[in-house]
Amino acid sequence: MMGFEFEFEREFCVVIFAILGASFGSFLNVVAHRSIEGRPWWGRERSICETCKHELGFWELIPILSWLCLRGRCKNCGARISVRYLLVELITGIAFASIIFRHGLSFETLLACVGICGIMINSLTDIETGEIFDAYTLSFVILGLLLRIYWGFDAILDGFFGALFGFGIFALIIILSRGGMGWGDATFMSGMGALLGWKLAILAFYIGIMFGGICVLILLLIGKIHWGKKESVPLVPFLSVGCYVAFLYGDVTSSLLFSFTRSACSKNTNEIISGNTAIQIARSCKNLLMNVMIADKECDVISNCEC
Ligand SMILES: [Zn+2]
């Protein structure tokens, strides 16, 4: 990883990546919208107001700022512009900025930013129509494996097993539940698995499913969805949260989880037999804390040693 020599370098890169992210968000909005309508997103077709067909000029296409300055209305006819455009640009901007803040100018950052584009495009189509486009999931499998060439054969293999896990776990769920989930979720997770590698793919899946489960429970409790009725809740946005956490903090989180599992499974049978599991848990927590401190120290060392 390449650290930042000066604090202003980090701040400068964070700002640049926030702008870059917001611009990508704006572009992905267009790609998702046109894909759903079955129109090509490439080529020379200009963006227009959906109501009056007025062609948008340069000042109406600046991510975040245009929406805010125009207060979410078309300059020509005053028709409302969906707040979705603003939110997607904001979320992508913040996601890009947080990734470079965490990983610095590194190949991890590039890989994670590619992943965030995959997260955004697939979440958008899933939320709007419940549809996942194979072209936008499988291309991330290929991209993930290609980018991993940088780290060598082991990393490519890691990505391959990540993709296999992502697809396999959903294939299993679909077969066991006889179609309880869609194949789109499987291809999405295989794309993210190729970018994340197998360990982080498991972590992302776990966080995504837990987060989705909690949200569905809340929706059931407040009566937005109903028990027993076939109401589909898009899963990709929840999996995306898991993937984002894995891209951002996966290195620390997975080492924590694996150390937790290791200490929880330690062979000190006396303590387990005597029912003294509290000591085990306390030890695991101490290990977790140590790991966080070590990880933080490593970050410091990495950013200092470049001077
Ligand atoms: Zn208009």
The pLDDT of residue 271 is 43
CB 201 within 8 A of CB 151: no
State the first-to-last Cα distance of the chain, in angstroms, to the nearest integer: 14
Q: How far is the CA of 48 from the centre of ligand 1 (A)?
A: 8
Please tell me the distance between residue 50's alpha carbon and the centre of ligand 1 in angstroms: 7
Q: What is the pLDDT along the chain (307 residues), one digit of tens a residue?
A: 456 666 778 889 999 999 999 999 999 999 999 999 988 888 778 888 888 988 888 888 999 999 999 999 999 999 999 999 999 999 999 999 999 999 999 999 999 999 999 999 999 999 999 889 999 999 999 999 999 999 999 999 999 999 999 999 999 998 888 776 789 999 999 999 999 999 999 999 999 999 999 999 999 899 888 777 667 789 999 999 999 999 998 877 766 666 666 665 554 434 433 444 444 545 555 565 555 455 545 544 434 444 3
Contact 271, 282 (CB under 8 A): no
| Cβ atoms of 193 and 201 closer than 8 Å | yes
Q: How far is the CA of 42 from the centre of ligand 1 (A)?
A: 23
Summarize pLDDT for 140-176 with one digit per residue, the tens.
999 999 999 999 999 999 999 999 999 999 999 988 8
> From the CA of 73, how far away is ligand 1's center (Å)?
8
Distance from Cα 81 to the centre of ligand 1, integer Å: 9
Q: State the Cα–Cα distance between residues 246 and 269, nearest whole angstrom.
A: 33
Answer whether 96's CB lies under 8 Å from 21's CB. yes
Give the predicted TM-score (pTM) of the model. 0.80
pLDDT digits (tens, 9 = 90+) for 70-90: 999 999 999 999 999 999 999
Residue 159 carries which side chain, given as an amino acid letter?
Answer: G
Other Cβ atoms within 10 Å of 79 Cβ, number: 13
User: How many A from CA of 74 to the centre of ligand 1?
Assistant: 5
Helix residue spans in 130-182 (DSSP H): 134-147, 153-176
Q: Collect contacts of 288-291 with beta carbons under 8 A, ≥24 apart.
A: 288/256, 288/259, 288/260, 291/252, 291/255, 291/256, 291/259
The DSSP secondary structure of 189-233, one letter per residue, reads HHHHHHHH-HHHHHHHHHHHHHHHHHHHHHHHHTTSS-TTS----
* Cα–Cα distance for residue pair 274/7, rounded to 1 Å: 52
Cα 167 to middle of ligand 1, angstroms: 43
Ligand 1 centroid to Cα of residue 56, in Å, is 9
Q: How many residues does the chain have?
A: 307
